Structure 1
Amino acid sequence: MNAARGRTGRPPLTEERKAAIRLEIARAAVDLFVAQGVAATTGEQIGQAVGVSARTVWRYFPTKESCVRPLFSTGIDAIADALRQWRPHRPLQEAFDRLWTGDALLPGPDIGALLRLTRTEPGLRAVWLQTHDEAEPVFARVLAERAGLPYDDARPAIRAAMLNAALRAAVEHHAYRTDESATDPGAVRADLVAALRSAVALAAAGIA
């Protein structure tokens, strides 16, 4: 037969839906990690919490610890985007003004619990540090373009490292000293924003 056969089965997932599934898996993983520890958590449990198979979990993430990566990368992606939109001859702090009132830097209360776990769970700590390590060249490239410098120039790389370290230290400091029983999301967010503003101000002198 020469007639073309139509495609059967489920339609392919959109990138938006894939991202949503990744985030659902991440949040389910954090809930389980907090409740019973990383060692006791399985891919099957993470999948059940989301309503997918363990096979689907492993399709999106290579390890159970890496399941949390979307919660880390969301804020970093927002920072890179803010740097791209940073207007010439304007203070660095101004580049992040819109982030302080958005949701990208704090996807939910689970991020604080997750960061506190990174102090005692080496696998989660490795994912956190790797996410920042991979973000640094992105920051450097944006800063190089803005300054009209070649990508292999050391100055954007150093400035990106300064900003990256300052932001990471601020977020960790906020998470580590926030009471796990805190019930006022507004107060928690205000404290995070204050920590990030301080970090940006400290880094600004070497980046402007």
Structure 2
Amino acid sequence: MTAAGGRTGRPPLTEARRTEVRREIARAAVDLFVTHGVTSTTGEQIGRAVGLSARTLWRYFPTKESCVTPLFSEGIDTLTAFLREWPSGEPLDRALDAWLTTGPDLTGGPDEATVRALVRLTRTEPGLRAVWLQTYDEAEPAFARALAERSGLPPDDLRVTIRAAMFNAALRAAVEHYAWRDAAARTPQVARDERATAKRELEATLRQALATAAEGVR
């Protein structure tokens, strides 16, 4: 079929659909990585899991390890939104209570146990570790902009830069602490009540880490 302007083939994907496809790829990749290991997983396998060819898959992500980026970055996005919406002058613990009550997806993934297992893999898989650290490196300017909006300071102000770095480090440390401890006793096939307990543990760890980073922020 030829469009009015002479264009043929499938219509381009909307940005929303591209985002959803990236999420689908990320979910498939993490399931395969956790189940079979990173080395034993290929781009072709990830693509097949979501109905894409390997050639199409590489249009979305440059490497198989980078396929999990949305699972890392979406959790960071929730904190960026919180920092932007944190009312000036309100204590962090009170703001966190209100935020956590809404049930934000702190891991960005469909199953916290699976994402926790993925984070544990970043300890032993250099490719995943690089993606994990790059995600946080790219998140820091977003934290800085959110804190700058809140404080009325320019995003490149040294105080904003340092606070953004502290929040960034606190979030990564909290998630890693949560994911890495008791690793031998945890599997992706946890029961529902265990997942609820795990979420409360993550929230408690995140609260402690951010409270430490936020000392002196008004």
Question: TM-score, length-normalised on structure 1?
Answer: 0.91
Question: In the alignment, does 2:147 pair up with 1:139?
Answer: no
Aligned-residue offset at 1:7: 4.8
Question: In the alignment, does 2:98 pair up with 1:88?
Answer: no
Q: 1:133 to 1:95 in 2, by over 3 A?
A: farther
TM-superposition CA deviations, 1:98-151 (whole Å, max 9, x none): 245424213223210110100100110111111111111111122122212223
User: Helix, strand or coil: the match of 1:205?
Assistant: coil
Task: Identify which range, 132-141 or 62-71, moves more after superposition.
Answer: 132-141
2-structure distance, mates of 1:187, 1:138:
30
Aligned-residue offset at 1:88: 1.5
| 1:125 counterpart residue number | 129
| 1:16 counterpart residue number | 16
| 2:29 counterpart residue number | 29
Aligned-residue offset at 1:94: 3.9
Q: 1:100 to 1:135 in 2, by over 3 A?
A: farther
Task: Identify which range, 194-203 or 8-17, moves more after superposition.
Answer: 8-17
User: Helix, strand or coil: the match of 1:59?
Assistant: helix
Q: Which amino acid aligns with 2:51?
A: G
Q: 1:41 to 1:4 in 2, by over 3 A?
A: closer
Give matches, 1:99-114, under 5 Å. 99=100, 101-106=102-107, 107=109, 108-109=111-112, 110-114=114-118
2-structure distance, mates of 1:10, 1:139:
38
TM-superposition CA deviations, 1:57-105 (whole Å, max 9, x none): 1010011110000000001111111111111111233444324542421
| 2:46 counterpart residue number | 46
Question: TM-score, length-normalised on structure 2?
Answer: 0.87
Q: 1:149 to 1:31 in 2, by over 3 A?
A: same
| 2:176 counterpart residue number | 172
Question: In the alignment, does 2:199 pair up with 1:189?
Answer: yes
1-structure distance, mates of 2:203, 2:50:
31
Q: Percent of aligned positions with the same letter in both sequences?
A: 64
| 1:58 counterpart residue number | 58
Q: 1:206 to 1:123 in 2, by over 3 A?
A: farther
1-structure distance, mates of 2:117, 2:65:
14
The RMSD of aligned alpha carbons is 1.9
Structure 1 alignment gaps of length 5 or more: none
User: Helix, strand or coil: the match of 1:207?
Assistant: coil
Aligned-residue offset at 1:180: 2.1
2-structure distance, mates of 1:42, 1:207:
45
